[in-house]
């Protein structure tokens, strides 16, 4: 229980975590007394460390006399002890100069954001594109590929472009596809995807749709185009940075993390979860929670346009990352992306 930690326990836990972040080596009592002026003997520090280990905040790796933080220890440190520093003007300028967003499509913008997060944090940048359901319709186009296949190109208000191939039971000519395209673009522009899906279901339920062949086909095509959950791609930049961290010299741990990067399902779940909350969110991988990213932490923040929150971005790195530095980088990058998207949507 966090309430069991007195001031001495808090100071020693904070010292051990910050020393471990710097060194990646288990921290012993003599190291704490040498590096921190607490007025305590190594024996006293050793006793407190034993108490912290018993409470689950520290663990002794192998036969080492030193200790390292657990997931519980990091969580307490982040929630109760961490002091977030402000980015300097120079750091903000470096972040802003890292971006070359002007004229980019939203996918390119988000990939650049991931690259910037990775380059400046020295960890792995992760950005999730907006899900289709959270976007506003701007334009749709149907292009006949063959007798039974049509390419759908969907563009959202924020500039998100989605391509999808639809297979038809009966062929539709390009001329009719153009009429359907014009009708849908006139009817749907400015509506959210959720509103459009509800409208399609309502219209198809009405008998009049059966007497208008063009309307019937327009509803069928738009329903097929929007049926699946498009969007939500995850861009991962700088994955190789993880390999440079001493925690991932363990081949099995590295394989597990790279499988997570490839499959992306856990990352999507965490990014979705953080999108429902406000501000910076921190997920700590441990043996008991988020085991796929055990040994890693994911720091996220949401980005938005004028319609509201539409996506999430962040940094994944070892539990032993300097949170006071990475948190403001993630937060400021999310604000920069939001500003650019708000301007683009004007």
Residue 261 pLDDT more than 90?
A: no
Strand partners, 298: 283, 316
In this predicted model, which residue has the larger pLDDT, 127 or 308?
Answer: 127
How many whole angstroms separate alpha carbon 295 and alpha carbon 181? 50
Given this model, what pLDDT does residue 1 score? 45
State the pairing for strand pair 308-318/124-128: antiparallel
Range of weakest confidence among 144-158, 233-247, 311-325: 144-158
**Whose CA is closest to 280, among 303, 306, 296?**
303
Given this model, what pLDDT does residue 49 score? 94
Average pLDDT value over all residues in the chain: 83
Contacts 24+ apart (CB under 8 A), 24-32: 24/245, 24/246, 24/247, 24/320, 25/66, 26/60, 26/61, 26/64, 26/65, 26/66, 26/67, 26/68, 27/66, 27/67, 27/68, 28/65, 28/66, 28/67, 31/66
**Whose CA is closest to 318, among 290, 293, 344, 289?**
293
Is residue 266 within 8 A of residue 161, CB to CB? The reply is no
How many whole angstroms separate alpha carbon 69 and alpha carbon 333? 28
pLDDT tens, residue by residue, 184-217: 888 888 777 777 777 776 766 665 544 466 666 7
Neighbours of 3 (CB within 10 A): 5
Q: Which residue segments constitute the domains of the chain, with CATH numbers given?
A: 2-81 (1.10.10.10), 89-130+232-344 (3.30.450.40), 133-225 (3.30.390.60)
Q: pLDDT grade, residue 260 (50/70/90)?
A: confident
Q: Please classify residue 331 by burial: count the beta carbons closer than 10 Å to its beta carbon, then call 0-12 exposed, 13-18 middle and 19+ buried.
A: middle
Stated pTM of the model: 0.76
In this predicted model, which residue has the larger pLDDT, 16 or 146?
Answer: 16
Kindly write down the DSSP assignment for every residue of 150-181, as one continuous string.
EEEEEEETT--EEEEEEE-SS---HHHHHHHH
pLDDT tens, residue by residue, 34-56: 999 888 999 999 999 999 999 99
pLDDT tens, residue by residue, 105-131: 777 888 889 999 999 999 999 998 887
**Whose CA is closest to 26, among 83, 87, 67?**
67
């Amino acid at each position: 229980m966090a309430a069991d930690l007195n001031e001495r326990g808090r100071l020693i836990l904070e010292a051990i975590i910050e020393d471990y972040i710097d060194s990646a080596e288990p921290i012993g009592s003599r190291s704490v007394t040498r590096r921190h002026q607490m007025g305590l003997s190594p024996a006293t520090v050793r006793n407190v460390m034993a108490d912290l280990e018993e409470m689950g905040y520290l663990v002794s790796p192998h036969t080492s006399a030193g200790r390292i933080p657990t997931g519980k220890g990091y969580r307490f440190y982040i929630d109760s002890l961490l002091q977030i520093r402000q980015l300097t003007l120079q750091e903000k300028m470096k972040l802003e100069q890292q971006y070359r967003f002007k004229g980019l499509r939203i996918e390119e913008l988000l990939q650049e954001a991931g690259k910037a997060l990775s380059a400046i944090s020295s960890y792995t940048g992760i950005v999730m594109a907006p899900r289709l359901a959270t976007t506003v319709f701007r334009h749709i186009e149907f292009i006949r590929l063959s007798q039974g296949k049509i390419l759908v190109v969907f563009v959202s208000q924020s500039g998100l472009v989605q391509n999808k191939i639809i297979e038809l039971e009966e062929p539709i000519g390009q001329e009719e596809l153009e009429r359907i395209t014009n009708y849908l673009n006139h009817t749907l522009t400015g509506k959210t995807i959720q509103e459009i899906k509800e409208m399609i279901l309502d219209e198809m339920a009405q008998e009049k749709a059966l007497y208008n062949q063009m309307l019937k086909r327009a509803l069928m095509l738009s329903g097929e185009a929007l049926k699946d959950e498009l969007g939500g791609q995850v861009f991962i930049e700088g994955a190789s940075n993880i390999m440079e961290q001493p925690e991932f010299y363990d081949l099995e741990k590295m394989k597990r993390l790279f499988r997570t990067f490839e499959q992306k399902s856990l990352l999507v779940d965490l990014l979705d979860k953080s999108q429902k909350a406000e501000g910076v969110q921190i997920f700590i991988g441990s043996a008991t929670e988020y085991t796929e990213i055990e040994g890693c932490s994911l720091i996220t923040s949401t980005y938005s346009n004028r319609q509201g929150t539409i996506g999430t971005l962040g940094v994944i790195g070892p539990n032993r990352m300097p949170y006071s530095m990475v948190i403001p980088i993630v937060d400021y990058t999310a604000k920069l992306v939001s500003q650019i998207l708000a301007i683009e949507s004007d």
